[in-house]
Structure 1
Amino acid sequence: MAEPFDTVDVIRAKRDSERLSDEQIDWVIDAYTRGVVAEEQMSALAMAIFLNGMERAEIARWTDAMIRSGERMDFSTLSRPTSDKHSTGGVGDKITLPLAPLVAVFGVAVPQLSGRGLGHTGGTLDKLEAIPGWNASLSNDEVLAQLEDVGAVICAAGSGLAPADKKLYALRDTTSTVESLPLIASSIMSKKIAEGTGSLVLDVKVGSGAFMKELDTARELAETMVALGTDAGVRTVALLTDMSTPLGLTVGNALEVRESVEVLAGGGPADVVELTVALAREMLAAAGQEDADPAAALQDGRAMDVWRKMIAAQGGDPDAALPVAEHTEDVLAEADGVLTGLDAYDVGVASWRLGAGRARKEDPVQAVAGVELHAKPGERVRAGQKLMTLHTATPERFDRAREALAGAVVIEPDGATRERAIVLDRVAG
């Protein structure tokens, strides 16, 4: 059967900054999923979109076409409402780990379909796989059963959800089109809408360690995604949050699980606790629980109880010792003063080079690798004081990690000690 469109005509239209018709968009996504549109042709179209953008209606149709490329999950049989969170990715961003069980405490089911890390940003599944026995792969029936029983699940998205996005995501990563606002928005929202959640809170990162370096572009991305979710019938809210410096005091896999458990035990770094509670409040309000007090549930052990059930339900041992790196090296402060800068991107790259991340999707990761921070921006430090500890199973990686950190640290002799704001803005539909 003849195809209704010519791929070259679709590429040319976007190359020349024309608006793609609904029919063109529907066809190109379907044809790419079927293999009719070649990888090099979709590469050209992705670059044309990167350079010339898309109108709101185009992004909405593109997102819808990607949803229709696969199956949709249905949580309507659950006895509780559903709410989910998506982060655009950062350094030290382990928030999903304490957040999912915390929200579940209040009778809201959290279907957290998560991914793996690529480049300098960590992946939630890589972190949890540091727990002995924990399994990331669940069937749809197992997801539903765990949501009904435990209230929270963190697992890999099934291959049936938005398969067009899966193909396109891998292509964007190898063609330098990852940072395209229409492609980011449609990628995230096609998966989240297909996932079937009733409400969604977006954590849109801003700063050196995020895809969006500037507040204005991050706000535009947030507004686009909130509109896509709202139009699809999903109650959607976005928080713009700071990613100029890493979240918490750990970057890596087992290191971040350890810190998450500290938060669930009522401790942990103040910035991780603050953001976890802020996102929990938004998720609970979106699911109709405006009066819930998530901060109290972290302090009194209720969130920890759900965490232990959630880990055990997926084959993990919540009491097992987490793996520890055989090799560590310290990075010392070179002067007295106030630590005014600790660049999130540089720390993320160092962690990646130590073995915590991957350059290609098929690369293995080390559970033990990463960076432990001993000071955060705004704190006074002394020359010779430990600023960071590098962790790895392969000590030959230390030199390249140190190279990544060459410009990461800024110490000013008379800098001001200060608290930084984590939540920068809020966008609602």
Structure 2
Amino acid sequence: MSGGTQNTPDAAVEPFDAVDVIRTKRDHGAVPEDALRWMIDAYTREYVADSQMAAFAMAVLLNGMNRDEIRVMTDAMIASGERMSFAGLGKRTVDKHSTGGVGDKITLPLAPLVAAFGVAVPQLSGRGLGHTGGTLDKLESIPGWRAALSNDEMFAQLRDVGAVICAAGSGLAPADKRLYALRDVTGTVEAIPLIASSIMSKKIAEGTDALVLDVKFGSGAFMRDVDKARELARTMVALGTDSGVATTALLTDMNTPLGLTIGNANEVRESVEVLAGGGPADIVELTVALAREMLALAGQPDADVEAALRDGRAMDAWREMIRAQDGDPDAPLPTPRETHTVVAARNGVLTRMEALPFGIAAWRLGAGRARAQDPVIHAAGIDLHVKPGASIVAGQPLFTLLADDDKRFERALDALEGAWEIGTDAPASTPLVLERITA
């Protein structure tokens, strides 16, 4: 018997064998649809053992899957749980998903900005782990704000406010929850079919009409290599399209941190600056680009997104969204007990500021977590004072570390060793949005 449980005389006879499925993929074959659906279902039921699914995941990492296999696996993961529907809302729903990065707070200004145009934005978000921050962690730095909403509360907020950012319920794609945890401990996180089916099973089960993907590449991205990021984007766009969800993707640069803040409370402050019509140019550029994509999919290709930032409509939607989840948009945000500023040793031009080390440093300062159960320190993080291309004079502040305990500074500074560079020539300009990917 090759399943994860022992056979008994009256046990149901399983129609497939996990070892056969593993061998098919090991030998570069395509797993038949009914066998693949069974494999996901049997793993969810704990009939297929973790060791067997680990072997299957490794075979997928090494040998890949064709488009049809990825579609079937995604659909099987959706079928493992509940499917939501926003059909009764009476307005279009559009979601955005980012593959994550350093300083990526785009969801915060984006959701209320799109909602200001009468479109519903059901943004089911997660928490941070490692160097990538979590949207829920950022918002929880706002006094009173709560991430957990019932389905009824979510629907009411989408109807009345238009935007909701909250935790995803445990009922969506439970197969993904098991497989995600397994990938993390078996060296199979990078398998593009598994990444794509993981992300898209939850997004399709969520029931949105349309979806815009922000797929990042570079030092601080999940997929460092631009070609692999492009492959992931194309795979996810295909999955959305095959499932009847209008889907596009932007391929965006994550070699340098986004904006001037990395952390939680400081990223909320920066997001509010954007909603007030200011904020760093790169955050504004990406927020506007993604908002245009979302509104185009919702039937408003000519929406004047910048006007909604200038005239206060987006800010009004933000304040309503925060209040609807018991947050106080006027309350002071947490501030750090300790700070440490790093200054330039000489004159020149800042030529490089590598995203990943800055993400790791912010994590070591307490802005992130090493384990899912760890708390985050909302005031911890890094404030950047300059970005690559800026002219620098000796003694000028480059960035400030924020923490509640000054003992954290040493390890954060260790992470930043060699992460930035002052030279004589300005770096070549590279686009923030590299390309747009459609079905």
TM-score bracket for the superposition, by shorter chain length: over 0.9
Partner residue in 2 for 1:367:
378
1:78 aligns with 2:63: no
Give yes or no for contact 1:250–1:370 (8 Å, CA) kept in 2. yes
Give yes or no for contact 1:379–1:417 (8 Å, CA) kept in 2. no
Q: Deviations over 1:359-383 (max 9, x none)?
A: 1111111111111101101111122
Partner residue in 2 for 1:394:
405
Displacement, 1:230? 0.7
Give yes or no for contact 1:200–1:236 (8 Å, CA) kept in 2. yes
1:211 aligns with 2:222: yes
Larger deviation, residues 268-277 vs 39-48: 39-48
Give yes or no for contact 1:355–1:392 (8 Å, CA) kept in 2. yes
1:426 aligns with 2:436: yes
Counterpart of 2:152 (choices 121, 141, 149) is 141
Partner residue in 1 for 2:193:
182
Displacement, 1:385? 1.7
Q: Deviations over 1:279-302 (max 9, x none)?
A: 000000000011111111011110
1:229 aligned partner, one-letter code: G
1:385 aligns with 2:396: yes
Displacement, 1:419? 4.7
1:19 aligned partner, one-letter code: A
Q: Deviations over 1:259-307 (max 9, x none)?
A: 0011111111000001000000000000001111111101111000000
Partner residue in 2 for 1:245:
256
Long gaps (5+) in structure 2: 1-11
Partner residue in 2 for 1:14:
25
Give yes or no for contact 1:101–1:306 (8 Å, CA) kept in 2. yes
1:153 aligns with 2:161: no
How far apart are the structure 2 equivalents of 1:40 and 1:6? 14
1:281 aligns with 2:292: yes
How far apart are the structure 1 equivalents of 2:113 and 2:291? 7
Partner residue in 2 for 1:301:
312
Q: Deviations over 1:288-333 (max 9, x none)?
A: 0111111110111100000000000001111110000101111222
1:34 aligns with 2:45: yes
How far apart are the structure 2 equivalents of 1:361 and 1:42? 22
Partner residue in 2 for 1:347:
358
Q: Deviations over 1:126-160 (max 9, x none)?
A: 10011111110111111111000000000001111
1:278 aligned partner, one-letter code: A
How far apart are the structure 1 equivalents of 2:331 and 2:183? 38
1:344 aligned partner, one-letter code: A
1:330 aligns with 2:341: yes
- Partner of 2:389, secondary structure, is coil
Within-5 A mapping of 1:109-120? 109-120=120-131
Q: Deviations over 1:323-349 (max 9, x none)?
A: 001011112223321111100011000
How far apart are the structure 2 equivalents of 1:335 and 1:51? 48
- Partner of 1:238, secondary structure, is strand
Partner residue in 1 for 2:7:
none
Q: Deviations over 1:198-224 (max 9, x none)?
A: 011000001110011122111111111
1:259 aligns with 2:270: yes
- Partner of 1:77, secondary structure, is helix
Displacement, 1:40? 2.3
How far apart are the structure 2 equivalents of 1:303 and 1:176? 42
Counterpart of 2:113 (choices 61, 82, 102) is 102
How far apart are the structure 2 equivalents of 1:398 and 1:387? 15
Displacement, 1:420? 3.9
2:436 aligned partner, one-letter code: R
Displacement, 1:417? 5.7
How far apart are the structure 2 equivalents of 1:196 and 1:24? 26
How far apart are the structure 1 equivalents of 2:186 and 2:368? 20
Q: What's the C-alpha RMSD, in Å, of the aligned pairs?
A: 1.1
Partner residue in 1 for 2:34:
23
Counterpart of 2:206 (choices 195, 198, 209) is 195
How far apart are the structure 2 equivalents of 1:359 and 1:249? 23
How far apart are the structure 2 equivalents of 1:418 and 1:258? 30
How far apart are the structure 2 equivalents of 1:176 and 1:406? 27
Give yes or no for contact 1:379–1:418 (8 Å, CA) kept in 2. no
Counterpart of 1:64 (choices 65, 72, 75) is 75
Change (3 A) 1:419 1:301: farther
How far apart are the structure 2 equivalents of 1:43 and 1:382? 53
How far apart are the structure 2 equivalents of 1:393 and 1:351? 12
Larger deviation, residues 36-45 vs 388-397: 36-45
1:243 aligned partner, one-letter code: M
How far apart are the structure 1 equivalents of 2:427 and 2:216? 24
Question: Normalising by the residue count of structure 2, what TM-score does the alignment of the two structures yield?
Answer: 0.96
Long gaps (5+) in structure 1: none
2:390 aligned partner, one-letter code: E
Displacement, 1:418? 5.8
How far apart are the structure 1 equivalents of 2:184 and 2:128? 12
Query: Percent of pairs identical after alignment?
Result: 70
Q: Deviations over 1:219-260 (max 9, x none)?
A: 111111111101111110100011000000000011100100
